[in-house]
A and B are shown apart, each in its own frame.
Chain A
Amino acid sequence: MKHYSDLEYLKLSKWQRFGYRVASFFAGIPKAIWNFIKRIGLLLKTIALVVANEAKDIWSTFVQGDWKTKVSYLVMGFGCLARGQILRGLLFLLFELVFIGYMVVTGVYWLRMLPSLGIQGPMKEYNAIYDTYVTTYHDNSFKILLYGVLTLFFIIAFLYTWRANVKQNKLAEQILRAGKKLKSGKDDLRSLVDDQFHKTLLALPMTGIIVFTVLPIVFMILVAFTNYDGAHDGYNNNLFTWVGWKNFNTMLNWSSGNKTYSATFGEVLTWTLIWAFFATFSNYFLGMLVAMMINKKGIRLKKLWRTVLVMTIAIPQFISLLYVSKMFAKNGLINLFLLDHGLIQQGHELPFWENPTWARITVILINIWIGIPYLMLIATGILMNIPADLYESAKIDGASGWQQYTKITLPYMLFITGPYLLTSFTSNMNNFNVIFLLTGGGPTNAALSTAAGNVGHTDLLITWLFKITTGEEAQYYLASVVGIMVFVVIAVISLVVYNFLPSIKNEEDFQ
């Protein structure tokens, strides 16, 4: 494609510019992929270099270090203790003891079982004395996978700490050699509320995130490579084990004739994207409109209007949405009302939930009811922040209301809420509540009824995933694959959008 210089670019009309940017984005893909590969190569090289340097440093520290340093290689924290940094030394030592204790007591067992995920399943035995069957449980694949992963995390943490311990010794030797004093435990503690205050602040949130987000995600990804399901729950019936890429093959169908899952995935993904698009933009523009109406000069009772709308946020969705869902049923309030007033005939009720297209449109409309209040609140604040003199000067220039909207309000909103639009798009893709409570995914999609999870026309990937896990066969492994696919889709969309939204990259500009 033709490449424009800056000057040529500025001469283009708005639409040409847009087209140019889209075209250059796609034209840039091969190059981007090549760059990506190059960067991975570079990254690998860097990693190799870092590892080599670390090894070299560890070795040289050992060779050049004094005896205190050398002992520290085995007994962590010894150097610190010997040099009077009691607090640091004790912590290092304690960590090492705990690590060794853990590995001996249980860690080794988990690691040893990790490749097989268990050997002996439960056994049923007949007890003739009591005329009953009893079950003895043995290995637990689930725990093996969970604690195996935790043990790996722990080993990494240990290696990192051990390395830190070595570095500490080197540093201490250097400081002492230069004739300076080492930091005392008191200094260490003080720095935690000052120089190193960010570590204090981040410690608690990050621990939570690692244990309750990172660990489960790693586990979830690993489950996609096992046959963990209702019939192989790893403890009560059969153990589960590794199956390689088989589940991905089932879902994406790259080497078998069975298109059940790839067809289902394609269809559900398409609707998920359509839904996310309409759900996001309908809320965005209508919410903005409502905010502008309420904000308009001369409109009274602003607080009342806002409060009325905000009620939808305050009342839990499982109550309001379930009620609304019933209202739209074939014999629900709306149809009965229309019947009673002779507006429709029996047998010709409006098929809100029965007809796929109707159902899809209805969920989008009801989602507007849910979403507008949030947007109204956000837009209210932003609209008030737009400098009033912009509008004054526009008025003097004789701009109409529409022109003011397209030339001032909309660009301003779009500029400021660009990142918000992206997050709201991705969270709409995962909007479980609205779909699950309104339609439960229905009406059923006949073409896809052999795929696990009883897929319906309004099912999103996330509700499908949920239905797979709670379905008859509880195929957690397939649900994990769907989860990973959701991640891939969102990541790709985010990457593309980030390429169009340069403002996100310049985080500091906002400050």
Chain B
Amino acid sequence: MKKTLALVLAILMVLALVACTPAGATNPSTPAQSGTTTEQSGGTTEQKNDQPAQQTSGGELAGTYDITVWCADNIVDLTKKQIEDFNASNTDGIVINATVEPVGEGDAATQIVVDVEAGGDIFCFAQDQFARLVQAGALSKLGVAAAEMVKANNDPDSVAAVSLDGDLYAYPLTADNGYFMYYDKSVVKEEHLGSLEDILADCEAANKYFAFETNTSAWYLASWFFATGCKSDWTTDSDGNFTAVNDTFNSPEGIIACKGMKKLLDSKANLSASDGAAFASNAAVVVTGTWAYSTVAEILGDNLGAAPLPSFTVDGKTYHLGSFNGFKLLGVKPQADPVKAAAVNKLAQYLTGEKAQLERFEAVAWGPSNLADLQLDAVKNHPAISAVMAQKEFATPQGQIHGSWWNIAKVIGDDVAAATDDAGLQKALDNYKEKIDALFGLTGYIFVGAWCNWDNADASMLMKEADGVLTLTLDVPESDYMGGRIVVAGEWGTDYGYNQVTTGKELLNPDMDPSLGNNGDNNIVFAAAGNYTVTCNLTTGEITIVKN
């Protein structure tokens, strides 16, 4: 029979389709509720509130809320218990009915970015995912009271870790996401602990490994550069986009760091690993964090030692190895319902509060970020926590770092290992710097001047960055074809597209047909011959062209 089946199937498909009505079609933007003001300007819009603090905690929160909580496997049971405690103790009448799912801190961001809606209402994540999650719209901004509370009760560095452009987006959960050194007391002598060279000699003598993930992880590799005072500070805008970097890895200090690193990389004891179980596979030293404590304690038993990282000596001067001092954070997914949002935030505050952090420390030895907890003797005396705290003196707070940096920086390790002399080390850093610059070529603006056709694009005329402003001076030659042109374009391949040239239109070549003057799509400015300075403000995206 002709077509009958096709028809039946098509109908079935249609029925399925009709069932899924579009969200946007039927409910246009809900009218603003009382106490709410909205400001629309296309794309993500945000309302700015000037005097919020007086009106807080006005709403009634009593009720039952079904939510999902994502946390690490080893605290699932504890978190369930803590939520019950919260239900019993809170004075607002909030009853949380939570499903607690084991999703590791590393995984949470990767999963939630795929589909924020399906992610946990509350989820734990590691600090390096923070900017990415803000950018993905997966973190809800903290209310005024909550922000005050976090600032008052937590380690200042941990507050910085959850801040973006002055606003807070998450709650600090631990302050122990840094690394230090576990060692086997039977191999490494106590008196050698301060010196990298001595520890390496001990390891080599015992045919054991010094495990430090220098070759394959930028997080660990940065330790060497921080030791000599290099830094890599990144600036973001309020959407989580990176706008500028102050990076001094490529410097004389950077070369010293590379020389120190080479001592480890050239040693036969070098092992690029960071798992606690490496002790079971011939390692005598492992540089890793508190999360490995239980494994290491079981393997080494009485031989367990934990200490801050050692110092290394280059040209007679010693440098204490630095580290990243990071945090585990707890985030709340954006909610549509203000009542539920408030209730979930209350729970988040409880879960990151003094009592909950202490319980977590006692159960799984996670180092608290809460100031009161940090004063407790039990916390101070824990071998791993005390080591991470001792290392903290030399650590750099892990601010917001561009996602690509981790990939760019980690190859320094291999480059240094391959280098045979100082020139090789310098080349490793040059490569690094070039890529960091290219990265900002990607997010900044490439200036392509004075074209006559699309072929003579000169990508080498990269604008120079200083204080968040890109500048370039150039000559526009006389041109017989449509006049000289200045083209300012975001580089191909970035989603920045083309920011419009906002000022400088007066420079248009007067002989040009005005309709061609400023091509709406391509920020091409048809300029008369002469010398021009073009600046681009990276924060505002404004481009200015001035004739000199």
Contacts and interface: CB of A to CB of B under 8 A. Distances in A.
Q: Are A and B direct contacts in the complex by CB distance below 8 Å?
A: yes
Given A211-B13, A354-B215, A256 B491 contact: yes
A137 B493 contact: no
Nearest to A454: B407
A369 interface: no
B495 A102 contact: no
A157 interface: yes
A191 B1 contact: yes
Nearest to B57: A131
A511 B43 CA distance: 61
A236 B24 contact: no
Interface in B117-159: 117, 132, 135-138, 140-146
Nearest to B273: A331
Contact of B136 (A168, A230, A470): A230
A247 to B, nearest CB: 7
B24 A140 contact: yes
A258 B1 CA distance: 58
Interface string A99-132: 1011001100110010000111111111111111
A2 to B, nearest CB: 41
Contacts of A88: 1, 4
B267 A126 contact: no
A125 B24 contact: no
B33 interface: yes
A143 interface: yes
Interface string B394-417: 000000000110111011001100
Contact of B209 (A129, A161, A331): A331
Which residue, of A139, A191, A329, A473, has the highest number of chain B Cβ atoms within 10 A? Answer: A473
Interface string B182-219: 00000000000000000000001001010100011000
Contacts of A175: none
A129 B55 contact: yes
A138 B271 CA distance: 51
Interface string A389-427: 000000000000000000000000000000000000000
A66 interface: no
Given A130-B341, A444-B407, A450-B439, A121 B42 contact: yes
B345 interface: yes
A233 B334 CA distance: 15
Which residue, of A110, A144, A211, A346, has the highest number of chain B Cβ atoms within 10 A? Answer: A346
B423 interface: no
Contacts of B30: 136
Given A124-B45, A130-B143, A444-B410, A257 B341 contact: no
Interface string B270-298: 11110000100111000000000000000
B268 interface: yes
Contact of B52 (A126, A140, A256): A126
Q: How large is the interface on B (under 10, 10 to 19, 20 to 34, 35 or more residues)?
A: 35 or more
B59 interface: yes
Given A106-B25, A444-B414, A331 B283 contact: yes
Interface residues of A, number: 106
Contacts of B338: 127, 129-130, 132, 134
Interface stretch (B14-22, B316-324, B476-484): B14-22
B7 interface: yes
Nearest to B110: A470
Which residue, of B43, B144, B215, has the highest number of chain A Cβ atoms within 10 A? Answer: B43
Contact of B335 (A135, A454, A472): A135
A444 B431 contact: no
Interface in B334-348: 334-339, 341-342, 345
A449 interface: yes
A336 B336 contact: no
Interface stretch (B69-77, B384-392, B453-461, B539-547): B453-461
B281 A123 contact: no
B29 A238 contact: no
B140 A131 contact: no
A146 to B, nearest CB: 10
A294 interface: no
B7 A257 contact: no
Interface in B449-477: 454, 457-460
A470 B268 CA distance: 35
B35 interface: yes
Given A98-B15, A236-B138, A256 B492 contact: yes
Contacts of A125: 32, 36-38, 47
B146 A131 contact: yes
A232 B337 CA distance: 23
A200 interface: yes
B376 interface: no
A123 B209 contact: no
A134 B145 CA distance: 15
A98 B10 CA distance: 10
B144 A131 contact: yes
Given A130-B338, A249-B493, A109 B24 contact: yes
Contact of B339 (A128, A130, A183, A236): A130
Given A135-B335, A203-B5, A347-B270, 14 more contacts: A88-B4, A91-B7, A91-B11, A92-B7, A106-B22, A123-B47, A131-B342, A147-B17, A154-B14, A211-B13, A230-B136, A231-B136, A347-B267, A449-B410
Interface of B: 1-11, 13-15, 17-18, 20-25, 28-30, 32-38, 40, 42-49, 52, 55-59, 61, 110, 113-114, 116-117, 132, 135-138, 140-146, 204, 207, 209, 211, 215-216, 239-241, 267-273, 278, 281-283, 334-339, 341-342, 345, 403-404, 406-408, 410-411, 414-415, 431, 435, 438-439, 441, 454, 457-460, 491-493, 495, 497
Interface of A: 87-88, 91-92, 94-95, 98-99, 101-102, 105-106, 109-110, 113, 118-140, 143-144, 147, 150, 154, 157, 161, 164, 168, 183, 187-189, 191-192, 196, 199-200, 203, 207, 211, 227, 229-233, 235-239, 243, 246-247, 249-250, 253, 255-258, 260-261, 329-332, 336, 339, 345-348, 354, 442-444, 446, 449-450, 452, 454, 470-474
| 10 nearest A-B pairs in the assembled complex, by CB-CB distance | A347-B268, A257-B459, A472-B403, A250-B493, A237-B137, A188-B1, A131-B143, A446-B411, A135-B334, A236-B137
11 contacts: A122-B334, A125-B36, A131-B143, A132-B342, A136-B336, A147-B17, A164-B3, A203-B6, A231-B135, A256-B457, A472-B406
